[in-house]
Amino acid sequence: MKRYSAFAIAREAARYHTGWERAWASPKPKKKYDVIIVGAGGHGLATAYYLGKNFGITNVAVLEKGWLGGGNTGRNTTIIRSNYLQDASAAIYEKARSLYETMSQDLNYNVMFSPRGVIMLAQTEHEVRGYQRTAHANALQGVKTEFIGPERVKELVPIINIDGPRYPVLGGLWQERGGTARHDAVAWGYARACSQMGMDIIQKCEVTGVRSEGGKVVGVDTTQGAIDCDKLGMVVAGHSGVLAEMAGFRLPIESLSLQALVSEPIKPCMDVVVMANTVHGYMSQSDKGEMVIGGGTDGYNNYTQRGSYHHIEETVRALVETFPMISRLKMLRQWGGIVDMTGDRSPILSKAPVDGIFVNCGWGTGGFKAIPGSGWAMAELMAKGHSPLTEEFGLNRFSEGRFIDESVAAGVAH
Amino acid sequence: MLILHCPYCGVDAEETELHAGGEAHLKRFGPGSSDEEFEGYLFHRENPKGVHFERWRHVNGCGKWFHAARCTNTLEVFGTYSAQVFEPPQELQDKISAKRPGWEWRDLKGSDQ
């Protein structure tokens, strides 16, 4: 496959762009693979990519029931940060953030990583103390964050109202190297790189059953026929429970709908990402000029990728006090994704009760930022049977009461 | 928007009046149970793409807890019923069977099975 470069653009410009190749192949499934990954979203493709890159395992198929990156990978608000409280989370999210720094070069695909900085606003005394604590924890974990005062917040975000009547801005947790990336490009870039290594990415191929013999996985049934494998990776976010049931085990996961929306595009007005967890909203401005806004999940199990209308109102109402100027903006569009929530709001990267099956799920409301780290760790887990990054995220933590409690640390959507 | 009929006060309440309370008919495992049972009670929840039974509270209304039968895939509401029962009334189960032949949920089986 030809490399993308400035030279390639010039070459193609000279011949009316007739020479561009398809970024990835669309083959028919083979009879058998060493590894099958179910789910061609960011996490699944990253897992396949690092299996090939770090461990030389390239006889891999990535199965996708819809189209590549059409689930939560293409539905999130693209925020990247690693300012978590617990050590295990900080390790895997910081691994991911650092991989984002060089991802475009690594994949030879521009993922538009924009380390514009992320502020998490402290709008109550409780939050001030909470984020100061996180900043200290991050210093020990080697994650660069700092707690900043309201004046600095105002300087970074001129459109913010720091002395609102209900929720004044008392400070913020600032991660300078956090930011955003182009979510589709992350999936596309990994897919192209995987295809280049000889892996098969098979879209419109829904898994309908998981076959095992003597407690060991032997393959899957799909809408494109049966496919055998030695190892199976389940990386399907909101549908993890459905897939686990096919394989005969249960996961401590509930699937909820999480929404996001964008405003009409406006001139550049905010060049950082702002998260306001007390009022429950987060906002950034896309390169197209839309204000990208996210809020909270629905409160009940839901597979519809829609979400309840009143959550849009709640989210926007909350943000209007802090950002008065957005009150005049029109909403352009709104969408939902199915997020897989665990009890402690931390992911599961683990061997499954069935031999040869590995699960990567439970990223809940904050999976996009973790894609490269999650794929890196999951690949190591699948190739070697263990990984330092996944040790704490095993399924056994629920029976052992050994939680990685980010629901308290992050408060809300993260 | 989700609208549930409160079986206690008779109001057709919309979502903002209600609070979701998670999976219905959980059996409590406490002291003396095995680790596995306790883990299941605390963390393992039914997460079906289809027929689901849940607890709801009419929080901004009469304040009472009740049960609801819903489809998580289409958001269709099959019906609501009293909180004072251990399983959904047969009548409601039959109604669900007519709409979703072959449904099953935890220890409940659809009537045609």
Which site among A255, A256, A301, A400 would you substitute to test the B interface, given the most B Cβ atoms closer than 10 Å to its Cβ? A301
Instruction: Provide the residue count of chain B.
Output: 113
Please check the confidence at residue A410 and state whether its pLDDT lies above 60: no
Please check the confidence at residue A198 and state whether its pLDDT lies above 80: yes
Domain C-terminal end among A323, A342, A361: A342
Domain C-terminal end among A342, A369, A397: A342
**Does a structural domain hold residue A373?**
yes
**Does a structural domain hold residue A19?**
no
Same domain, A262 and A274: yes
Q: Are residues B43 and A252, on separate chains, in Cβ contact within 8 Å? A: yes
**What confidence tens digit (pLDDT) does each residue in A351-374 have?**
999 999 999 999 999 899 999 999
Please check the confidence at residue A125 and state whether its pLDDT lies above 90: yes
- B3-109 architecture in CATH? 2-Layer Sandwich (3.30)
Same domain, A72 and A134: no
**What confidence tens digit (pLDDT) does each residue in A226-254 have?**
999 999 999 999 999 999 999 999 999 99
B111 — pLDDT class (breaks 50, 70, 90)? low
Which site among B18, B39, B43, B44 would you substitute to test the A interface, given the most A Cβ atoms closer than 10 Å to its Cβ? B43
**Does a structural domain hold residue A24?**
no
Closest Cβ opposite residue A310 in set B1, B39, B42: B1
**Per-residue model confidence (pLDDT) at position A408:** 57
Same domain, A259 and A402: no
What is the pLDDT averaged over residues A262-270? 97
> Contact, A169 vs A150, CB < 8 A?
yes
Rounded to 5 degrees, φ, ψ at A133 are: -60, -45
A202 contact partners, CB below 8 Å, separation of at least 6:
A26, A27, A28, A29, A61, A62, A63, A64, A224
**What confidence tens digit (pLDDT) does each residue in A30-65 have?**
999 999 999 999 999 999 999 999 999 999 999 999
Domain C-terminal end among A282, A309, A342: A342
Please check the confidence at residue B113 and state whether its pLDDT lies above 60: no
- For residue A300, list chain B residues with Cβ-Cβ distance below 8 A: 2, 20, 54, 70
CA distance B94 to chain A (A): 23
Q: What is the CATH number of the domain that holds A233?
A: 3.50.50.60
What is the percentage of chain A residues whose pLDDT exceeds 70?
98
Task: Report domain extents, chain B.
Answer: 3-109
**Does a structural domain hold residue A13?**
no
Same domain, A233 and A105: yes
Please check the confidence at residue A82 and state whether its pLDDT lies above 90: yes
Same domain, A74 and A216: yes
Same domain, A203 and A63: yes
Beta-ladder partners of B66? B56
Angle in degrees, 0-180, between the axes of helices A125-141 and A87-101, rounded to the nearest 10: 70
Same domain, A233 and A135: no
**Does a structural domain hold residue A47?**
yes
Q: Are residues B72 and A399, on separate chains, in Cβ contact within 8 Å? A: no
Same domain, A100 and A187: yes
Q: Look up the domain containing A298 and give its range.
A: 118-177+255-342
Number of domains in chain A: 2
What is the pLDDT averaged over residues B8-36? 93
> Contact, A64 vs A36, CB < 8 A?
no
Same domain, A61 and A101: yes
**Does a structural domain hold residue A21?**
no
Beta-ladder partners of A260? A294, A335
Same domain, A77 and A159: no
**What confidence tens digit (pLDDT) does each residue in B32-57 have?**
999 889 999 999 999 999 999 999 99
A405 — pLDDT class (breaks 50, 70, 90)? confident
